[in-house]
Structure 1
Amino acid sequence: MEKKKVLIVDDQNGIRVLLMEVFGSEGYQTFQAANGKLALEIVRKEQPDMVLLDMKIPGMDGLEILKHIKQIDPALRVIMMTAYGELDMIKEATDLGALMHFTKPFDIDEIRIAVNMQLRDGIHA
């Protein structure tokens, strides 16, 4: 069975490394991007099953990246990672099709469980 693919988009290297380790050990194939341009290239090339997307990324912000992701693949599942207090952006992200969000610093187990629920139990149309 082919491994499910998880793309982690965050400008903070430490968070990318941490999440890559967590989801790699869960058996997913992981990809990482520090900016929107690279994230969208990976979405086009690798067609990931899930994107963990940080809201605040220099250059192209999370909402812009989310819009572009949904243009490329409307069915792609996206979970947002936000800093405290970005509630207006969270609402917009939900309207654009993000599944849910986690506020940093997030509980790594919560985010792991959420991704597993989406990718293991969810039926991918």
Structure 2
Amino acid sequence: MDKKLLIVDDQNGIRILLMEVFSSEGYTTYQAANGKLALEIVRSESPDLVLLDMKIPGMDGLEILKHIKAVNQDIKVIMMTAYGELDMIKEATELGALMHFTKPFDIDEMRLAVNMQLKGGAMI
């Protein structure tokens, strides 16, 4: 069964990079530049994992995370942040985020983390 991955970031370059990386890993990937679109995809496609940027204009990552968990508690979420927002990271963890990556992140570490979450720890 194909695993579905949603990338939520207002930076187009990051979305494209992550789409390429995770498409090549065999995942069905979706992208959203804002919270409204992200939540539409969550409702219609029910992704297995969401890579979620903390700072998104309009609706911040924590708000989006709350909505994702309200729609489906089982969707896994990994936060991405460009800042050292420790209080927000702590709150994101309390809301159910599994982990976070600080930008600029190591793409191989990100790929390992996603594969661990979606392939149950199988390292390829």
What is the TM-score normalised by the length of structure 1? 0.95
User: In the aligned structure 2, how far is the partner of 1:84 from the partner of 1:42?
Assistant: 26
Q: Which runs of 5+ in 2 are unaligned?
A: none
Does residue 112 (structure 1) correspond to residue 124 (structure 2)? The answer is no
Q: Per-residue deviation at 1:78?
A: 0.1
Match of 1:3 in 2: 2
Match of 1:103 in 2: 102
Match of 2:67 in 1: 68
User: In the aligned structure 2, how far is the partner of 1:69 from the partner of 1:79?
Assistant: 12
Q: Quick one: which amino acid aligns to residue 70 of structure 1?
A: K
User: In the aligned structure 1, how far is the partner of 2:87 from the partner of 2:115?
Assistant: 27
The percentage of counterpart residues that share the same residue type is 82
Match of 1:80 in 2: 79
What is the TM-score normalised by the length of structure 2? 0.96
Q: Per-residue deviation at 1:7?
A: 0.1
Moved over 6 A (4+): none
Cα root mean square deviation, aligned: 0.7
Q: Per-residue deviation at 1:83?
A: 1.3
Q: Per-residue deviation at 1:33?
A: 0.1
Match of 2:27 in 1: 28
User: In the aligned structure 2, how far is the partner of 1:45 from the partner of 1:68?
Assistant: 14
Q: Per-residue deviation at 1:84?
A: 2.5
Does residue 18 (structure 1) correspond to residue 26 (structure 2)? The answer is no
Q: Quick one: which amino acid aligns to residue 107 of structure 1?
A: D
User: In the aligned structure 1, how far is the partner of 2:83 from the partner of 2:66?
Assistant: 22
